[in-house]
Amino acid sequence: MKKALITGISGQDGRYLAELLCSKKYIVIGLTRSKKQTIEKLPKKLRDTIELVEYESFTQESFIKILKKYCPNEIYNFAALTSGDGMYLNPEDISKINAGLVYKILEAIRHVDKNIRFCQASSREIFGESLESPQSETTLKIPRSPYGEAKLDADNMISKYRNQYNLFLASAILFNHESPRRGHNFVSRKISTAAAEIKLGLRKELKLGDLDTIRDWGYAGDYVKAMWLMLQADNPDDYVIASGKTHTIRDICEIAFSHLDLDYKLYVKEDLNIGRPNESVALVGDIRKVKRILNWSPSMTFEKLIKNMVDHDLKENKKNNEKK
């Protein structure tokens, strides 16, 4: 049986990946700062299936000990300080976690077992002020936030270690990926939650920034499958993981509210002072490489994704309201 170690297992991606790996009969070890909080977030079927390892802080020595003890075949790194609204906050901590932790993992792999395969969850934020659209693996990276800078720093180090030490290291350049497990600080979840609450009479309106902001949105469950495929390949490489299509925030509003027989125009208030400035060109992923080499493509449509999120939030709000 293969053994995989997942950092950031309590997040959206970590949970979807853990489910995928368990379905493939992996032994899954999840690293977490709090077992109690993580167990509360995990689906019931995972709680008795995976092993959680609690840590206070990642030092080089502690990570080496973890690798020696659990001997994983694969490592997936989702540990990161937030993107979304928080990618400009606490730049020192963002660099320490989003880049510094990756250095420690790479060094631990180099010292403990060079056969360990590693996948880093990178981000479309490395493109930032890109000069071309769509963006591929060879597009010039011009991050415009501390979050994007830290992710690019980690990607660059992965490339250097891969070449210098002949390690199986890969970066997944993930574009926006959503699900019912998405954090409430992300616009997709803000909209799905608000639509459900308005339908139930729990709130009256939703304030958003520029509704014509363009993003490349996909389903998180599809994207973690791509990351798994990356570590099953013959050779390590970096891949853009995206839907290859763009939609606007207005599109999400239209789908989410109409799914509940509501007109979003009656409830969504646009405030152009909210949110960050739009990119100079549309950030949309060129997924020809991952399609060609890994035979991966997204399985869930944008419309189905948004409807699933709304259905989930409607069900959750009904359940919580009944408890009161």
pLDDT digits 0-9 by tens, 214-270: 999 999 999 999 999 999 999 999 999 999 999 999 999 999 999 999 999 999 999
Same structural domain for residues 117 and 198? no
Same structural domain for residues 196 and 51? no
Average pLDDT, the chain: 93
Q: Contact 256/264 with Cβ under 8 angstroms?
A: yes
Among the options 122, 123, 130, 243, which is catalytic? 123
Comparing 117 with 274, the larger pLDDT belongs to 117
Same structural domain for residues 144 and 264? no
- Which whole number is the average pLDDT over 151-159? 97
Task: Evaluate whether residue 295 is within a structural domain.
Answer: no
User: Domain of 309?
Assistant: 183-215+245-284+300-323
264 in catalytic set? no
The residue to which tokens 């399609």 are assigned: 291
Give strand ranges (E) for the chain: 3-7, 27-32, 51-54, 74-77, 117-123, 168-174, 177-178, 206-208, 214-215, 218-219, 239-241, 247-248, 268-270
Most distant CA pair in the chain, distance: 59
Question: Considering only CA atoms, which of 109, 119, 159 is closest in space to residue 8?
Answer: 119
Among the options 16, 76, 83, 125, which is catalytic? 125
Q: Report whether the peptide linkage leading into residue 134 is cis, meaning its omega lies within 30 degrees of zero.
A: yes
- Which whole number is the average pLDDT over 88-111? 89
125 in catalytic set? yes
Same structural domain for residues 104 and 23? yes
Query: Residue 134 has what pLDDT?
Result: 97
40 in catalytic set? no
CATH number at residue 19: 3.40.50.720
Query: Residue 324 has what pLDDT?
Result: 65
Tell me the pLDDT band of 44, cut-offs 50, 70 and 90.
confident
Same structural domain for residues 254 and 139? no
CATH number at residue 189: 3.90.25.10
Is the pLDDT at 97 greater than 90, yes or no?
no
Tell me the pLDDT band of 59, cut-offs 50, 70 and 90.
confident
Query: Residue 85 has what pLDDT?
Result: 57
Is the pLDDT at 84 greater than 90, yes or no?
no
From residue 192, give the alpha-carbon distance in Å to each of 12, 37, 70, 196, 197: 16, 24, 39, 6, 9
Among the options 16, 26, 76, 147, which is catalytic? 147
Same structural domain for residues 55 and 163? yes
Same structural domain for residues 161 and 198? no
β-sheet bridge partners, residue 177: 218
- SS3 (DSSP) at 273: coil
How many domains does the chain fold into? 2
Please list, residue by residue across 103-130, b when 16 or more beta carbons sit within 10 angstroms of its beta carbon and e when fewer do: ebbbebbeebeeebbbbbbbbbbbbbeb
Query: Residue 279 has what pLDDT?
Result: 76
Cβ partners under 8 Å of residue 96, min gap 6: none
Same structural domain for residues 163 and 201? no
Cβ partners under 8 Å of residue 178, min gap 6: 186, 188, 189, 217, 218, 219, 220, 305, 306, 309
